[in-house]
């Protein structure tokens, strides 16, 4: 097991009506004036924002609002949020929404006390502890941003989409009410399930040997998602299935599933470029295509690891041929994503050969800038490898 540091300070309030406690819990923590940050109209229409405002008002907490976060949150809105925080003396940032809203809130919290422009943190990865505390009312279980130290933000002007990691931007409070996820459309539910499953795969496959305590925990979450996914898709208002998925989504990305390992994250890099090139691609859908393609390309580095994964997660029986077992495990992965309604090829995401070559030419320079060259750990990948993986996914 490699040396590591780990801290996950988020205080979770989990269950029915969790969001009704927002005001009281924030007041307990000394919050006086929050920036209420959200996306489009669904949180307003559902009444969720109204309940959150009521809860804040009842606790005597003042509130400045900034809506309009889009998928792949953009640095321009983040800068608006930073300015509001400075102007109004905001002491907490409260995100109501999914991963994009939480990521945008993190960036605002990092920028709020900085003297430089907030994009610098994304460019240079410089660390700071001077970050506003963040609270989250989660509406989409997927990204795991409600407890993770990471945020991904786009800069349209520069044509960049990049991540920033800092334990100081892990949320301090997270309200997780599974009932808020009952109305998620099937495609979004499935993309979320895929995203969280891939957060586990990125940690499980790397160039390090076994770390049983971490690996077993990781596999237990994969098994949970595999078993609960069909339940939640068949019966969207099944509270227990939604609850298991919501909590699993957090655990997949808060870090325990990877401690002591090297982790990989090549496929997230490949996918981020894809959904930056075509912003209509949902992150989870892009992952559903790219992960099996990555697996096929790299599995020869350690086919036994894939065979082990296949036995534990999909109940595959050892054939005696480890290469065949590894390929079966990859097939099962693709079938699992397909069973959720996810695409399996880039063609299904609107690419043909010509458009893909155009995309590859566009993506490789930013991929190298964002991930390094070579990148990944299970197998070190060059830009030629990356292009080959994209082409194999067509």
> Which chain residues interact with its own copies by CB under 8 A?
1-16, 18, 178, 211-214, 216-217, 219-221, 223-224, 227-228, 239-240, 243-244, 247-248, 251, 256, 259-260
Residue number, 6 or 182, with CB nearest to its own copies: 6
How do 92-97 and 160-165 pair as beta strands? unpaired
Closest separation between CB of residue 83 and its own copies, Å? 31
Q: How far is the CB of 225 from its own copies (least distance, A)?
A: 9
Minimum CB distance to its own copies, residue 343 (Å): 27
Task: Answer for the pair 130, 114: CB distance below 8 angstroms, yes or no.
Answer: yes
Nearer to its own copies, 23 or 376 (CB): 23
Pick the closest to residue 291 from 195, 361, 387, 206 (CA basis): 195
- Which residue, among 47, 50, 59, has the nearest Cα to 22 in the 3D structure? 59
Q: From the CB of 87, what's the least distance to its own copies, in Å?
A: 30
Sign for the pseudo-dihedral over CA of 353, 357, 363, 369? positive
Beta carbon nearer to its own copies, 2 or 157: 2
Q: d(Cα 128, Cα 348) in Å, to the nearest integer?
A: 42
Q: For residues 55 and 229, what is the distance between their CA atoms, to the nearest angstrom?
A: 32
Task: Put residue 324 in one of left, alpha, beta given phi > 0 → left and psi -120 to 50 → alpha.
Answer: alpha
* Nearer CB in complex with its own copies: 77/134: 134
Given the complex with its own copies, which of 192 and 286 has the nearer CB atom?
Answer: 192
Among 189, 193, 167, 191, which residue's Cα sits nearest to residue 180? 189
Q: What is the nearest approach in angstroms of its own copies to the Cβ of residue 15?
A: 3
Q: Closest approach of Cβ 272 to its own copies, in Å?
A: 27
Distance CA 273, CA 278 (A): 9
Q: Whose Cβ is closer to its own copies: residue 243's or residue 340's?
A: 243
């Amino acid at each position: 097991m490699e040396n590591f540091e780990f801290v996950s300070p988020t205080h979770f309030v989990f269950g029915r009506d969790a969001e009704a406690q927002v005001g009281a819990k924030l007041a307990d923590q000394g919050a006086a004036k929050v920036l209420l940050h959200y996306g489009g109209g669904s949180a307003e229409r559902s009444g969720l924002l109204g309940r959150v405002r009521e809860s804040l008002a009842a606790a005597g907490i003042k509130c400045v609002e900034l809506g309009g976060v889009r998928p792949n949150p953009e640095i321009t809105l983040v800068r608006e949020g930073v300015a509001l925080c400075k102007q109004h003396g905001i002491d907490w940032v409260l995100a109501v929404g999914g991963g994009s809203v939480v990521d945008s809130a993190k960036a605002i919290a990092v920028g709020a006390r900085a003297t430089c422009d907030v994009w610098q943190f994304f460019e240079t990865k410089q660390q700071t502890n001077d970050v506003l505390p963040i609270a989250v009312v989660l509406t989409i279980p997927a990204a795991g941003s409600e407890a993770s130290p990471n945020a991904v933000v786009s800069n349209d002007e520069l044509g960049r989409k990049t991540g920033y990691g800092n334990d100081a931007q892990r949320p301090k409070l997270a309200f997780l009410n599974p009932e808020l996820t009952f109305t998620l459309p099937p495609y979004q539910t499935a993309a979320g399930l895929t995203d969280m499953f891939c957060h586990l795969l990125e940690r499980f496959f790397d160039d390090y040997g076994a770390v049983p305590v971490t690996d077993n925990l990781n596999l237990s979450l994969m098994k949970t998602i595999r078993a609960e996914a069909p339940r939640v898709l068949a019966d969207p208002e099944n509270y227990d299935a939604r609850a298991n998925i919501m909590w699993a989504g957090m655990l997949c990305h808060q870090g325990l599933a990877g401690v002591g390992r090297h982790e990989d994250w090549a496929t997230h890099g490949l996918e981020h470029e894809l959904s930056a090139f075509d912003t209509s691609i949902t992150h989870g859908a892009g992952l559903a295509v790219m992960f099996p393609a990555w697996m096929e390309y790299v599995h020869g580095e350690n086919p036994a690891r894939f065979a082990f994964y296949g036995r534990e997660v999909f109940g595959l029986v050892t054939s005696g041929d480890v290469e065949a077992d590894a390929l079966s495990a990859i097939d099962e992965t693709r079938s699992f994503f397909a069973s959720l309604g996810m695409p399996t090829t880039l063609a299904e995401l609107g690419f043909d050969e010509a458009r893909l070559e155009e995309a590859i030419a566009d993506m490789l320079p930013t991929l190298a800038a964002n991930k390094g060259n070579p990148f990944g750990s299970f197998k070190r990948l060059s830009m030629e490898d990356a292009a080959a993986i994209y082409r194999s996914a067509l």
